[in-house]
Amino acid sequence: MKKIAIVGAGLVGSLQAILMAKKGYQVDVFERRPDLRKADEIGGRSINLALSDRGWKALELAGIADEIKKMSLPMYGRKMHDVEGNLSDLPYGLNGEAIYSVSRGGLNQKLMNLADDYPNITYRFNRKCLDLDLKSNTIAFQNTEENKKEEYTYDQIFGTDGAFSAVRSRLQKTPMFNYSQEYLSHGYKELVIPPNEDGTHRIANDALHIWPRGEFMMIALPNMDGSFTCTLFFPMKGELSFDTIKTEEQVMDFFQKTFPDAIPHMPTLVEDYFENPTSTLVTVRCSPWNYEDKVLILGDASHAIVPFYGQGMNSGFEDCTVFHNMYNEMEGDWDKLFETFSTSRKPDADAIADLALYNYIEMRDLSGDPDFLLRKKIEKKFAKLHPDKWMPLYSEVTFSHIPYSQALKGGEVKNKIMEQVMQMDNIHENWDTPEVMDKMLELL
């Protein structure tokens, strides 16, 4: 029986471990950090993620979807906060679909616990990947607990060690390896809206809150404990930026002017602002994702994206689903499997990377724009009338399993049609007339 290594015990690594163990392989999972289940607290901050259909499908494959659903909160739409504190709603789906706010740490723990039930999975924590010998497929680790170097040899190695992947760094040195890392000029900082005293949520807990402000934005996702994790996405440098907002007074002043309705809910704003780090936002693209039939990188290691489409984890989980299906089709031919996976999945990773970058502009800019909201309304009406002809791009990405690259292409077509529709005479008055629907049918 082949021996398989998984480098990185995060979400994608732990899920892939379970899927490979189910197939009967001997799986060793290596993780740079200590076992997060034994840590006193899961980091200092509570990071949450939005699970959607692609993620759920992979969790179902691992048999853990029901359990995770219990620890997640459905968000049925965006709740937009304008500067006066007025709220407006924009549902995510046409038919009441939701995306689910879930704790990254909690989800990771569940996956690890499930993996522990497999006698053929061994976790090895405190192992920092130092180097890979691609000839012999041997990985060198620093055992940071015992302060010694260890080497292990495997038939196949999966690199699931994130955006700053050590496994990928090794591949980057092989000939013909294309690679790019591109940072946004904006970064982010996590803040918090704590629960009410009775443990309930201070604002609606069935939506993703957005404070769109053109050049930047804040969002908030609900947690199970009644709190919200807020994230301020903001320029790193420039006139109004993390660089310039640096005294307590400046923070309060900026929030008073920009997010006045949020302030009463953020009693620890100033402390959080100064205690929490400012993090960067990177897009990583590379190819190929494999080295012969020996190494394959998955998830953020091969395609790290910005978080604005809520598809980072979901696309990583979908890697596992796609790999699993391909494995069943071509069992035994690892060379073909790795190469085919890398070649065929890469365009989808590129597509969701582009969509995620674009969606930042949409979220911070357009969700406050009446034209944008009208457009969504018209699209929704048409899609309800002709569900076989039109699924909005957001729904295809979030609530379907259509390949991302296909969704992107279809989105460009729909975009052109909607641009023409929005140029119809008096569209703001006439949008609800049959002429508009007919025009769309004609344009399709």
**Contact by Cβ (8 Å): 126, 34:** yes
Q: How far is the CB of 216 from a copy of itself (least distance, A)?
A: 17
Q: Which is nearer to a copy of itself, 70 or 173 (CB)?
A: 173
Q: Which is nearer to a copy of itself, 26 or 287 (CB)?
A: 287
Q: How far is the CB of 365 from a copy of itself (least distance, A)?
A: 22
Q: Which is nearer to a copy of itself, 172 or 250 (CB)?
A: 172
Q: How far is 300 from 283, CA to CA, in rounded Å?
A: 9
**Contact by Cβ (8 Å): 266, 286:** no
Q: How far is the CB of 16 from a copy of itself (least distance, A)?
A: 26
**Contact by Cβ (8 Å): 301, 125:** no
Q: How far is the CB of 272 from a copy of itself (least distance, A)?
A: 21
Q: How far is the CB of 130 from a copy of itself (least distance, A)?
A: 13
Q: Which is nearer to a copy of itself, 220 or 306 (CB)?
A: 306
Q: Which is nearer to a copy of itself, 172 or 268 (CB)?
A: 172
Q: Which is nearer to a copy of itself, 194 or 235 (CB)?
A: 235
Q: What residues pair up with 139 in beta bridges, in sequence order? A: 132, 152
Q: Which is nearer to a copy of itself, 237 or 389 (CB)?
A: 237
Q: Is 373 left (phi over 0), alpha (psi -120 to 50) or beta?
A: alpha
Q: Which is nearer to a copy of itself, 237 or 246 (CB)?
A: 237
CB atoms within 10 A of CB 369: 13
Q: How far is the CB of 44 from a copy of itself (least distance, A)?
A: 19
Chain centroid, CA 357 distance in Å: 12
Q: How far is 312 from 150, CA to CA, in rounded Å?
A: 32
Q: How far is the CB of 442 from a copy of itself (least distance, A)?
A: 35
What would the DSSP string read from start to end of 423-439?
TSTTHHHHTTSHHHHHH
Q: How far is 60 from 66, CA to CA, in rounded Å?
A: 8
Q: How far is the CB of 254 from a copy of itself (least distance, A)?
A: 22
CB atoms within 10 A of CB 92: 23
Token pair of 222, please?
A: 């609900």
Q: How far is the CB of 275 from a copy of itself (least distance, A)?
A: 19
By DSSP bridging, strand 77-81 and strand 208-212 are parallel
Q: How far is the CB of 347 from a copy of itself (least distance, A)?
A: 16
Rounded (10°) angle between helices 334-365 and 404-422: 30
Residues in contact with a copy of itself by CB under 8 A are 164, 172-173, 175-183, 236, 280
Q: How far is the CB of 318 from a copy of itself (least distance, A)?
A: 25
DSSP 47: -
Q: Which is nearer to a copy of itself, 61 or 284 (CB)?
A: 284
Q: Is 43 left (phi over 0), alpha (psi -120 to 50) or beta?
A: left
Question: CB neighbours of 264 closer than 8 A, spacing ≥ 6?
Answer: none
Token pair of 322, please?
A: 């796609």
Q: Which is nearer to a copy of itself, 157 or 284 (CB)?
A: 284
Q: How far is 106 from 113, CA to CA, in rounded Å?
A: 11
Token pair of 150, please?
A: 């260890």
Q: Which is nearer to a copy of itself, 182 or 438 (CB)?
A: 182
Question: CB neighbours of 116 closer than 8 A, spacing ≥ 6?
Answer: 123
3-state SS record for 390-415? CCCHHHHHHHCCCCHHHHHHHHHHHH
